[in-house]
Amino acid sequence: MSSPRSSIQFVLNNQVITVDFNADTELKPTTTVLNYLRAMPFHKGVKEGCAEGDCGACTVVIAENNEGKLFYKAIDSCLVFLPMIHGKQLITIENLADSGKLHPVQQEMVNHNGSQCGYCTPGVVMSLFGLYKTHHNPGREIIEDTLTGNLCRCTGYQPIITAAEHACSCVDKDKFKLHEAEISGLLAHINTDKSPIEIHTPTRQYFKPLTLQDALNYRHRYPKAIIVSGATDTALRQTKKNEVLAEIIDISNIAELKYFNEQAQDYKIGSGISLEELKKHAAGILPALHQLLKIFGSLQIRNLATIGGNIGSASPIGDTLPLLMAYKAKVRLQSADSGRLLWLDDFIKGYRLTDIHADELITAIHIPKPGQGFITLSYKVSKRKDLDISTVSGGFSLLLENGNVKEIILAFGGMADHPRRAADTEHFLTGKPWTRPNVEHAMKILFHEFLPLSDARAGAEYRSLVARNLLLKFYTETITPGQ
Ligand SMILES: Cc1cc2nc3c(=O)[nH]c(=O)nc-3n(C[C@H](O)[C@H](O)[C@H](O)COP(=O)(O)OP(=O)(O)OC[C@H]3O[C@@H](n4cnc5c(N)ncnc54)[C@H](O)[C@@H]3O)c2cc1C
Ligand code: FES
Ligand code: FES
């Protein structure tokens, strides 16, 4: 491993900023990008509303270089530790105007009265800027998806949507386009140095490897350190629970973990791929996964959150888990000197508990290519459709042969301390005709198969009823007409 350094670099206002945590006693490695900006004299536009990824008032845009082209992403700065923007361009509301001339998204917000009290406005404008840089003439669905992570209590959204339509109808000729080659050159230069970053302060140690091998070495040396990939789960431990995250291994910049490969038998997915990237790859080939990711968090969350983080959290309501079980997914685990492949069902052991060893990382997920005749669907029941966590979720797969159930997987989230399959119900249905009487009988078994919790989201009986009815829904969506 090459010798570590203690500073990070990123681009702000077209300049490379170097932050040396070991020299700057004011900054901690777990200082969020939001708090870093708010402490600066000229970046107070960014706001804190919730500090948990729900309101979007803290939205900023980051740009990443890929072979001379910049890719822009809106993110919630309240969830991002400062070292996570190493090697990226950070763009805030103060950067948008060009020599006093408003950026098109700002101008259209003015033209269409998109702002009233203004508290949400910088975040909204940054989301629209992200949209402007990634879409030309986006449809209503894309605009609404862009704004899902931005709460506005005053305007009612229509003026903001109209502003988005107008701004994104013009050709992208803003100052960022003009400076693209220069900025991507700066980022490429920063990213050539792959030596790891190590930050040691009296209360915190932060390790930021830039290669997989270095990450595995750190994992070996610091087995108790918290792994941070997208930080959308982990950051809340600090912002909401006031925990001191004393030891972190940040794997968010490891390019070797960000891929989606189609292989002969399966899709191999790097654990560090963002859920938004995964959503794009899944379109057309894994439709249930694509549909599920469309209602996962918000765009700002999906731009950060990773598939490895969703699996690693092992939350009882982790949305991808039941569906990945229905797909018969496997998890690839790697340590510095060995690797293994586990069924996801076996990997998830209990409440936020997995079978990972202290020196391992999740490096990939394998989803077998759906076999001929296999139907896989996903369901999420939550209090509202967007930006909400599940009350109950289901990932179901079915293979019929001559009208009989040859194979069925019924995996549920929100029904136990961890996502798991309804083994008794599956057993009852296997080999039987896929008919309504059989499914209704199976619903009775299912009702008694789980003892779900009652909590603020729903009572136990409600959850059992929902699970039962999801099975009926699955039946009605998979029978051939006239059956
Ligand atoms: C506003 C908001 C909305 C959300 N909406 C949803 C939702 O709709 N559905 C849902 O399921 N979740 C949701 N979440 C939760 C969270 O976004 C997801 O669980 C996400 O997938 C976590 O990924 P991450 O990369 O950010 O994880 P991180 O916070 O970086 O990591 C979480 C944990 O996973 C483990 N981990 C991460 N990567 C690895 C790895 N490569 N190897 C081993 N362990 C690893 C670590 O132990 C870490 O402690 C939401 C969160 C917020 C804040
Ligand atoms: S402050 Fe609300 S999303 Fe960040
Ligand atoms: S303008 Fe007031 S919250 Fe959006």
Per-residue pLDDT tens over the stretch 3-56 = 899 999 999 999 999 999 888 778 999 999 999 999 999 999 999 999 999 999
Tell me, yes or no, if the two domains 99-173 and 258-478 fold the same way.
no
Average of per-residue pLDDT values in the chain: 96
Q: How far is the CA of 232 from the centre of ligand 1 (A)?
A: 5
Q: Is there an atom of ligand 1 within 6 Å of 276 CB?
A: no
Provide the whole-model pTM: 0.97
Q: Looking at residue 482, what is its pLDDT? A: 56
Exposure b/e, 209-225, CB count within 10 A at least 16 = b: bbbbebbbbbbeebeeb
Q: To which CATH superfamily is domain 7-94+178-250 assigned?
A: Beta-grasp domain (3.10.20.30)
DSSP E strand stretches across 272-391? 330-334, 339-343, 348-350, 353-354, 361-368, 375-381
**Nearest-CA residue for atom 4 of ligand 3:** 152
* Domain 99-173, CATH among 3.30.70.580, 1.10.3720.10, 1.10.150.120, 3.30.70.920: 1.10.150.120
Ligand 2 pocket, Cβ-based, cut-off 6 angstroms: 48-51, 53-58, 76, 78
Q: Looking at residue 171, what is its pLDDT? A: 84
Enumerate the β-bridge partners of residue 76: 59
Residue 251 near residue 222, CB atoms below 8 Å: no
**Nearest-CA residue for atom 2 of ligand 3:** 117
Closest ligand 3 atom, residue 118 Cα:
1
Q: Is there an atom of ligand 3 within 6 Å of 320 CB?
A: no
Q: Is there an atom of ligand 1 within 6 Å of 361 CB?
A: yes
Instruction: Name the closest ligand to CA 49.
Output: 2
Residues of the chain with pLDDT under 70: 481-483
Q: Looking at residue 43, what is its pLDDT? A: 94
Q: To which CATH superfamily is domain 258-478 assigned?
A: CO dehydrogenase flavoprotein, C-terminal domain (3.30.390.50)
Q: Looking at residue 237, what is its pLDDT? A: 97
Q: What are phi and psi of 23, to 5 degrees?
A: -95, -35
Ligand 3 test: best mutation among 55, 93, 113, 120, most atoms within 8 Å of CB? Answer: 120
Q: How far is the CA of 10 from the centre of ligand 2 (A)?
A: 22
Q: Looking at residue 483, what is its pLDDT? A: 57
Ligand 1 test: best mutation among 301, 353, 381, most atoms within 8 Å of CB? Answer: 301
Q: Looking at residue 481, what is its pLDDT? A: 58
**Nearest-CA residue for atom 1 of ligand 1:** 53
Q: Is there an atom of ligand 3 within 6 Å of 125 CB?
A: no
Instruction: Name the closest ligand to CA 51.
Output: 2
Own/partner contacts of 322-325, CB < 8 Å, gap of 24 or more, are 322/378, 322/393, 322/394, 322/395, 322/411, 322/412, 322/413, 322/419, 323/288, 323/289, 323/292, 323/376, 323/378, 323/395, 323/411, 324/365, 324/367, 324/395, 325/395, 325/409, 325/411, 325/419, 325/420, 325/421
Annotated domain spans of the chain: 7-94+178-250, 99-173, 258-478
Q: Is there an atom of ligand 1 within 6 Å of 214 CB?
A: no
